[in-house]
Structure 1
């Protein structure tokens, strides 16, 4: 049985990509098609630097007890700021520690490297929560155990496009006032579709045959993906139609999303229901969703 093509709509990580290693070992042929280009907001990252230099994270009482990260790009922007600011001391007291909350294992790994080098007194939590909603509920319990009375706010470093589930959950008026956690969002990057994406994706799809899987990692680029595949509002248009889109007549295309944010975006904006939503944002989670779906056909 020949390997099943799996098109990963992301930039391949360097020097190794966990998705390539994992799917190559599970009878899939992974192909990476970069979708996004990211632009960091230097002025807002400078604000983060200034918060550290003015003691917002270590004065008593603290203004912020920690930071929330739900994207790799936000961590990269934060890391870039720290690496460039050689004159700023990021000394944080050990009790209570600076809390770094994250939603997935990949982000946690990057944060761990950064923490070990620059923020040795910080602690990382939430790597196994999988979704923003799960992370928010985890934070409510964990943060209360660290700050049972006065709760400093959390700083949430975000991109321009994001869901509001975390601040809404943490500041929900239905929660007793003493249990709520204030959240301040700061946009540190914006994301756009690479000019070359649609053509590159169409070329790969057009050369495909048989069943293929397309894994979508972000709401950005969904419209171009659906247009190439001839799905959702683009059914019957372009170089193909129905579930085949621009692929050959013998090709069947299935779509998986890395999590609920992208699934909901496809559903709400384009009326398209992805075949799979990964239960966890990881290679293992994507495969679990695919195997469960294929087992039900």
Structure 2
């Protein structure tokens, strides 16, 4: 980046509160992060509470919880944990939690959980499932669990349950949040891409985290004749998102090796050094 002006990075995601690691990382290196929310999250508590109420002492019967989304953590923090008794909270926080990516692991840790596995070592659900299978197979001091509790969104992939079921490991999926696409994502993106004045540096990066909520945006970016400047570059988080972009005629200039802010920033900086 030879100019003293900031390179704008449009992040197609909801901004995490109170702290968003992507904002912190990019601002630390003189990038200008801009968030474009694509979906709306709504907490779902009835499934979790019905499990607690229908099975006496359910928290005594499980030792392992799988949480792969920060949205599930938010639902726990805001809608479920406050309704638990102190005894239930102590039991919940003592469970081993398996998760994907360092950002979600950090979020879970700040929520009060102590024993967290996967995280930085698990870049996707398939790797996390392998870690769980290996852990349970080598944990000779404890009997195999009756089931693992998997806190999920209403829309989710079934990679983890399928892989665990193939090894005879039972998983109970409990929905903790649901999502819906926002219908004004493309207009907000176009507004964010419009320079405030003629001297402003043109947009450089759009970061796509997930296919969800991006239909209109990808149709626009992958179509012919859109008015984006030639300096536009696209970064994707993970191979699944890259494949989705490929199928929509969008080239990913950068693929973040891990689903976290530092890996994405490092990949973008490396790309810019070599152009």
User: TM-score by structure 1 length?
Assistant: 0.78
Q: Is the 8 Å Cα contact of residues 206 and 246 (structure 1) preserved in structure 2?
A: no
Partners of 1:102 and 1:224 in 2: how far apart?
30
Partners of 2:98 and 2:34 in 1: how far apart?
31
Distance verdict in 2 for CA 1:181–1:8, change over 3 Å: same
Q: Is the 8 Å Cα contact of residues 210 and 251 (structure 1) preserved in structure 2?
A: no
Partners of 1:214 and 1:98 in 2: how far apart?
38
Partners of 1:135 and 1:32 in 2: how far apart?
28
Describe the SS at the equivalent of 1:252. coil
Distance verdict in 2 for CA 1:72–1:93, change over 3 Å: closer
Q: Which has the higher contact order (CA 8 A, sep 6+)?
A: 2
Describe the SS at the equivalent of 2:91. coil
Q: Is the 8 Å Cα contact of residues 49 and 82 (structure 1) preserved in structure 2?
A: no
Q: Is the 8 Å Cα contact of residues 153 and 182 (structure 1) preserved in structure 2?
A: yes
Which residue of structure 2 lines up, in the alignment, with residue 77 of structure 1? 75
Quote the offset at 1:214 in angstroms: 0.7
Quote the offset at 1:108 in angstroms: 1.7
Quote the offset at 1:199 in angstroms: 1.5
Partners of 1:105 and 1:43 in 2: how far apart?
29
Q: Is the 8 Å Cα contact of residues 6 and 201 (structure 2) preserved in structure 1?
A: no
Describe the SS at the equivalent of 1:19. helix
Q: Is the 8 Å Cα contact of residues 77 and 188 (structure 1) preserved in structure 2?
A: yes
Task: For 1:194-233, list aligned pairs within 5 A.
Answer: 194-207=182-195, 210=202, 212-227=204-219, 230-232=220-222
Give the one of 91, 98, 101 matched to 2:98: 101
Which residue of structure 2 lines up, in the alignment, with residue 285 of structure 1? 263
- Pair 1:276 & 2:247 matched: no
Q: 1:62-84 CA distances to partner (integer Å, 9 max, x unpaired)? A: 3x331101100011112221113
Which residue of structure 2 lines up, in the alignment, with residue 255 of structure 1? 234
Partners of 1:153 and 1:271 in 2: how far apart?
42
Count of residues in Structure 1 that have an aligned counterpart in Structure 2: 265
Partners of 2:12 and 2:20 in 1: how far apart?
13
Partners of 2:92 and 2:171 in 1: how far apart?
21
Alignment gaps of 5+ in structure 2: none
Which residue of structure 1 lines up, in the alignment, with residue 117 of structure 2? 125
Q: 1:21-61 CA distances to partner (integer Å, 9 max, x unpaired)? A: 2112223211112222111223213234436x722231xxx
User: TM-score by structure 2 length?
Assistant: 0.83
Alignment gaps of 5+ in structure 1: 117-121
